Structure formats: C-alpha cells, structure tokens
C-alpha cells in the first residue's frame, strides 16, 4: 500500500486488475461472442437451415418426442423458434431431484417436421462458447461459479478504484494522444473506460447478481433450505406463481395436447409471441403448463400464463412486472443478457464488450510498458514475474483469438462421425490456447506478439475459405441468398482478420531498428559545413 488515498486506490487498481485480468479477458471475449450465440449456432450447424414451422407444429413435435423418451421426467421445457435466440427447436427434460440435488437434464434439438432429432453435426456451437464465459470449461459449476464470482468481484473493485484514480475524468473526457508510448496506452485505457462506464459497471455488477445465490447461499438457505428444489420453491414464490407450488398427485392422467393452447395464446398475445412452454409433472394429475412470452424490454421476466396440464384450464396470469425488488433483479439480469435487443442495439452491445476487452488488454499491457525500462536495464535480466506477465499477455490477448478460430475450424474439419465430437472441438480450442501461452518461452516477446497476431489473422481469414469449401453456404452463396447469419459470420471473420493483420503490420514496422546513424555520417546529407 502507498500513502494517500489516490495512491492507495491506484495500487489497488493495478493489482486487482492484474491478478484476474487474463480470466476477465477470456470472459469478455467469449461473453461478447455470446451476443451472437444464435447466429454462431447456425453457422456451426450448416446442414440445418433456420426452421420456420408454426408454433402448433413445433409443440406437437416436441410433445411427441418428449413423451417417447422422457415420460418419467419431472419437468419438460420446449424452446420455440419465435425469437433470434432460438434458431432450432430445442427441448429439455429434467429428472426428479435425487437427495436434494437437481435431477439430470437432457437437451435435444428437433426437426419439427418429423419430431426426430435434428440431423446436424454434433457441435458445441455458439452456446458452448457463450457458456464458457460464466462456466469456464473442464470444471463443475460449483468451482467455476466461485472462480467467476471472485474474478467479478475483483473487477468491480478495479472499476471503482479506477474511477477514483482517474484524476482528469472530465478534463480528459475527449482526449486521446497517440504515438506517445505509455501516455497513449493510458489514454486508450482511460478514454474507453470512461466512455463505456455505464456498460462496464452494469455488466460486472449484474454478472455478480447472477451468482448471488451461490455466493451468498445462506440468504436462501436460512429460510427455504438448501438444494435445487428449495431454490425452485423460492423462485416460484418470488414470482408469485402459487399455481406452480404443487406436489405431484401420484395418479397418472394424460397430458393435454399442447398445441390446443395455441388458440388461447394467439388471442391473448398475438401470433408467434410464445418463447417457451414448460410442463411440470407431465402425465400426473397435478400437471401444470407454464407458457412464457418473448421478451420486449430489459425486464427479463415476461408475461406468463399457467394452465392446468390435464384440462387445459387457464389457472392464472402473471404480468411481466411484479414487485419492485424483483423487477430490479430481473432488469439487471435482462440488461446483462440483452435478449431483448434488436440488431442495432445488439451491435452496440457487441462494440461495448469489445471496448471492455480492449480496456482489460490495455491495462495488462500498461503494467508491462510501465515497468519495462527498469526491467530491461537489470543486469540479471527481467524478473521472472515480469516475463510471466509478458508471456501471459501475448498468449491471451493475441493467442485466445487463434484458439477461438481453431474452435470454429474444428467444427468444419473434424470428421462428422468422430465420437465425442463436441468435446474435441473444445479440446482443440484449449490446446491451441495452451500452445499460444507456452509460445513466448521459445520466442523473443516482440516477435511472439507479431507472429501470434499474424497467425490469428491467417486463421480468421481461413474460416470463410474453409466454410466455402466444406459447405454449400459460402460467402458468395450466402450473400446472394440473403442468408445473413452465414454472411455476417464470414464477413465478421474477414474484418477480424483485417484488424489482427493491421496490428501485426504496425508492430512489424515498429520493430525494425531505427535507421542506423553511425557517428559523423548522416544519410541524405551531403556535407558538413561551418557557419
């Protein structure tokens, strides 16, 4: 710690930011790609065009499939293709809880025309990439939730201490001074952070709110008891869904045809407004059907209708907006997820997230730039810690992009019948990232930067090419057909490649040794003269 409030805050900002910077960079990049998870899903399942079946047909198909293979489940959920987040009909079944732990969940994509599983390659898709930003990978949620929770807390501390440290927040509001070394990095870091402060604060704080019941499990536990079942109970009570607070009756009564509800739904909300249909205790006399509407504002809770699952009688109607504390909670979560956002706002979200990644990266780079002059002068060479930070910076800030490109390439190039194909996509991604992190061990740091950016550019440029070669939906076809998920993906890859290449070229130019001037000889000057 240093003396003085501002110095203390600067110290706090530097070290909280450094410790978790690389995890946060990963979280920001993968989470930011999650803004387009549905579109990435489409790209990663090139065999499966966007479905356009009616809500009734989708419900029939889903019900047939669930009845055939998940009759004993406690809960079914059907995700309809009525919004951009769901390009393909998806069903989920959940078995009854065992010893207070949540029952096993099974997810499946369906072809609404045949009620059979969707014929498409096995892939983690955009969903897996998006999921990584809060669940990481290769670890159970009980671990990742705490890791992400702690990192987010550090981030919040770094944001608040950063604002306090920033002396000239108003005077320098519009100021960027390029080409001045450390000063420029600091300007970049500060200007972007000030501009996107509302977003930055919102995304970090709301991210923590997602984890609130994990991080403070005793809030719920003291009143409801621990475990998934009690959490459901709490959620239902909070949302005022008394009609869902039922126990299974124990007698088998067949479930109604779900598509019989469509007429009621259309009348109340208009066509294609339903996002999910959830069935609790299917096949039981106490079966309930909960229907949720598509989101239309940052408020994540939506209008809901609850039906009796054996008679089809409408039991109750829940408005989207409830008591104020719940509205605040749901709005924070909705703001974070941005499912309500249309195309313009979605891209602005994406750009804000990009700014967030740049803020984190520039912070990490600043740490190095500030210490380099002293470090390279040391007789014994730079400290191990300094070199570690340099290496992690290269391997993450540049290397992560190579890894993500590798994930997409694996989707196209792995054999379609490979067992555990979904796992291999992710294994390849993380192997490439590991290699990128180790790479600075064998190369000088300046070269490692240039080479990794070059590789990232090449890999992203390769994606549209490989896509054109391995599918019928290459850029020329997708542009001609107005297939915007595919065209958008390919064009974004090309843009990313362009940016990475520009960085590589810029670094390459700077790395060239300054024009050597030997003493007394100045190129371009013919003669020395006397006054």
Partner 1 sequence: MLLATLLVYIGFVALALQKNRHLHVLWPGAELSPADRQALSFVGWTSLSLAAAYLIDQRGIGNGLVEYCAILSGAGLILILQFTYRPRSVLALGFLPSQHPHQHRLKTPDLHSFFAADTMTQHSITRTTFARIPTRHGDFHLYHYLNTEDDKEHLAFVYGAVAGEDVLARVHSECFTGDVMGSLRCDCGEQLNRALALVARAGRGVVIYLRQEGRGIGLEQKLRAYNLQDQGYDTVDANLMLGHGADERRYWLAAAILRDLKIKSVRLLTNNPEKIHALANEGVPVTARVPIEVGLNRENQDYLTTKAVRMNHLLPGIPTSIRRAAEPYVEPA
- 507 touching partner 1, by CB under 8 A: yes
* Nearest distance in Å: CB 525, partner 1: 6
Which residue's CB is nearer to partner 1, number 186 or number 397?
186
* Nearest distance in Å: CB 480, partner 1: 29
| Residue 125 to residue 256: CA distance in whole angstroms | 34
Which residue's CB is nearer to partner 1, number 472 or number 528?
528
Alpha helices, DSSP H only, in 378-483?
Answer: 384-393, 399-413, 421-438, 445-470, 475-481
* Nearest distance in Å: CB 448, partner 1: 11
Site string for partner 1, 154-173 (x = CB under 8 A): -----------------x-x
Which residue's CB is nearer to partner 1, number 446 or number 466?
446
Which residue's CB is nearer to partner 1, number 340 or number 460?
340
Considering only residues 2, 105, 141, 177, which one is a binding residue for partner 1 as defined by CB under 8 A?
A: 177
Which residue's CB is nearer to partner 1, number 14 or number 93?
14
Per the structure block, which two tokens stand in for 47? Answer: 């065999």
Among 424, 448, 421, smallest CA distance to 435 is for: 448
Q: Which of residues 342-361 bind partner 1 (CB under 8 A)?
A: 344-345, 348-349, 351-352, 355
* Nearest distance in Å: CB 529, partner 1: 4
Edge-to-edge strand list for the sheet holding 116-117: 116-117, 105-111, 90-94, 75-79, 274-280, 288-293, 304-308, 314-318
* Vertex 148 angle, CA 147 and 150, to 5°: 65
Q: What is the DSSP letter of 483?
A: -
Which residue's CB is nearer to partner 1, number 222 or number 515?
515
Torsion of CA 111, 117, 123, 128, to 10 degrees: 80
Kind and range of the H or E element at 496?
helix 484-511
CB count, 10 Å around CB of 455? 20
Cα 472–chain centre separation: 28
Alpha helices, DSSP H only, in 3-140?
Answer: 5-33, 37-44, 55-69, 125-135
Among all chains, which residue has been given the structure tokens 């609790």?
280
| Residue 162 to residue 165: CA distance in whole angstroms | 5
* Nearest distance in Å: CB 199, partner 1: 6
Per the structure block, which two tokens stand in for 253? Answer: 């009564």
Per the structure block, which two tokens stand in for 15? Answer: 């070290």
Output the DSSP codes for 289-316. EEEEEPP-SS-----EEEEETTT--EEE
Considering only residues 100, 181, 225, 319, which one is a binding residue for partner 1 as defined by CB under 8 A?
A: 181
Considering only residues 7, 71, 175, 476, which one is a binding residue for partner 1 as defined by CB under 8 A?
A: 175
Site string for partner 1, 366-405 (x = CB under 8 A): ----x-xxx-xx----------------------------
- 530 touching partner 1, by CB under 8 A: yes
Q: Which of residues 268-297 bind partner 1 (CB under 8 A)?
A: 297
SS3 107: strand
Considering only residues 9, 115, 186, 261, which one is a binding residue for partner 1 as defined by CB under 8 A?
A: 186
CB 109, CB 90: distance < 8 Å: yes
Site string for partner 1, 448-477 (x = CB under 8 A): -x----------------------------
Considering only residues 124, 126, 207, 298, which one is a binding residue for partner 1 as defined by CB under 8 A?
A: 298
Considering only residues 178, 270, 325, 419, which one is a binding residue for partner 1 as defined by CB under 8 A?
A: 178
Considering only residues 196, 259, 276, 292, which one is a binding residue for partner 1 as defined by CB under 8 A?
A: 196
Q: What is the DSSP letter of 101?
A: B
Q: What is the DSSP letter of 116?
A: E
Among 37, 39, 46, 51, smallest CA distance to 90 is for: 51
| Residue 446 to residue 389: CA distance in whole angstroms | 14
Which residue's CB is nearer to partner 1, number 15 or number 199?
199
- 506 touching partner 1, by CB under 8 A: no
- 324 touching partner 1, by CB under 8 A: no
Considering only residues 1, 52, 98, 174, which one is a binding residue for partner 1 as defined by CB under 8 A?
A: 174
Q: How far lies 88's CA from each of 109, 298, 369, 383, 476, in Å? A: 7, 24, 47, 52, 24
Per the structure block, which two tokens stand in for 459? Answer: 């890999």
SS3 530: coil
Q: Which of residues 35-64 bind partner 1 (CB under 8 A)?
A: none
| # binding residues, partner 1 (CB under 8 A) | 59
Region binding partner 1 by CB under 8 A among candidate stretches 69-77, 89-97, 179-187, 205-213: 179-187
CB 54, CB 62: distance < 8 Å: no
Considering only residues 438, 481, 495, 522, which one is a binding residue for partner 1 as defined by CB under 8 A?
A: 522
Which residue's CB is nearer to partner 1, number 249 or number 343?
343
- 492 touching partner 1, by CB under 8 A: no
Which residue's CB is nearer to partner 1, number 105 or number 167?
167
Binding residues vs partner 1 (CB under 8 A)? 171, 173-178, 180-183, 186, 191-192, 195-196, 198-199, 202, 297-299, 331, 335, 340-341, 344-345, 348-349, 351-352, 355, 370, 372-374, 376-377, 446, 449, 507, 510-511, 513-515, 517, 519-520, 522, 524-531
């Amino acid at each position: 710690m240093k003396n003085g409030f501002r110095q203390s805050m600067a110290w706090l900002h530097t070290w909280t930011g450094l410790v978790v910077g690389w995890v946060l960079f990963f979280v920001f990049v993968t989470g930011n790609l999650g803004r387009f998870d549905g579109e990435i899903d489409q790209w990663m399942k090139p065999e499966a065009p966007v479905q356009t079946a009616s809500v009734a047909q989708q419900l029939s198909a889903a019900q047939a499939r669930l009845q055939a293979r998940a009759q004993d489940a406690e809960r079914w959920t059907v995700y309809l293709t009525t919004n951009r987040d769901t390009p393909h009909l998806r069903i989920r079944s959940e078995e009854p809880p065992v010893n207070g732990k949540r029952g096993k969940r099974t997810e499946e994509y369906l072809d609404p025309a045949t009620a059979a599983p969707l014929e498409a390659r096995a892939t983690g898709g955009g969903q897996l990439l998006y999921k990584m930003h809060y669940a990481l990978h290769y670890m159970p949620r009980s671990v990742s939730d705490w890791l992400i929770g702690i990192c987010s807390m550090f981030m919040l501390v770094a944001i608040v201490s950063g604002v306090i440290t920033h002396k000239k927040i108003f005077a320098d509001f519009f100021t960027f001074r390029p080409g001045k070394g450390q000063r420029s990095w600091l300007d970049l870091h500060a200007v972007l952070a000030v501009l996107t402060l509302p977003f930055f604060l919102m995304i970090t704080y709301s991210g923590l709110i997602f984890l609130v019941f994990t991080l403070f499990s005793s809030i719920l536990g003291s009143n409801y008891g621990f475990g998934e079942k009690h959490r459901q109970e709490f959620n239902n009570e909070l949302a005022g869904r008394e009609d869902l607070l039922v126990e299974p009756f124990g007698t088998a009564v067949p479930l109604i045809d779900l598509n019989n509800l469509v007429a009621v739904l259309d009348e109340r909300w208009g066509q294609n407004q339903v996002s999910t249909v959830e069935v609790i205790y299917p096949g039981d006399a106490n079966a309930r059907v909960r229907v949720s509407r598509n989101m239309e504002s940052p408020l994540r809770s939506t209008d809901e209708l609850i039906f009796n699952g054996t008679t089809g009688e409408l039991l109750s109607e829940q408005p989207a907006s409830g008591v104020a504390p719940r509205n605040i909670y749901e709005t924070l979560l909705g703001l974070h997820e941005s499912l309500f956002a249309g195309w313009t706002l979605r891209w602005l979200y994406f750009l804000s997230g990009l700014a967030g990644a740049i803020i984190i990266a520039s912070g990490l780079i600043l740490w190095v730039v500030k210490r380099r002059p002293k470090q390279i002068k040391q007789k014994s060479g730079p400290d191990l810690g300094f070199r570690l930070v340099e290496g992690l910076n290269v391997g993450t800030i540049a290397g992560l992009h190579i890894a993500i490109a590798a994930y997409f390439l694996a989707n196209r190039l792995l054999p379609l019948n490979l067992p555990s194909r979904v796992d291999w996509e992710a294994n390849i991604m993380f192997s490439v990232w590991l290699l990128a992190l180790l790479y600075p061990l064998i190369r000088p740091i300046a070269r490692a930067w240039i080479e990794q950016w070059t590789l990232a550019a090449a890999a992203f440029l390769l994606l549209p090419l490989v896509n054109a070669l391995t599918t019928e939906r290459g850029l020329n076809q997708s542009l001609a057909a107005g297939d915007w998920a595919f065209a958008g993906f390919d064009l974004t890859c090309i843009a990313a490649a362009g940016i990475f290449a520009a960085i590589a070229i810029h670094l390459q130019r700077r790395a060239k040794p300054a024009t050597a001037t030997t003493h007394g000889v100045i190129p371009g000057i013919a003669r020395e003269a006397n006054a």
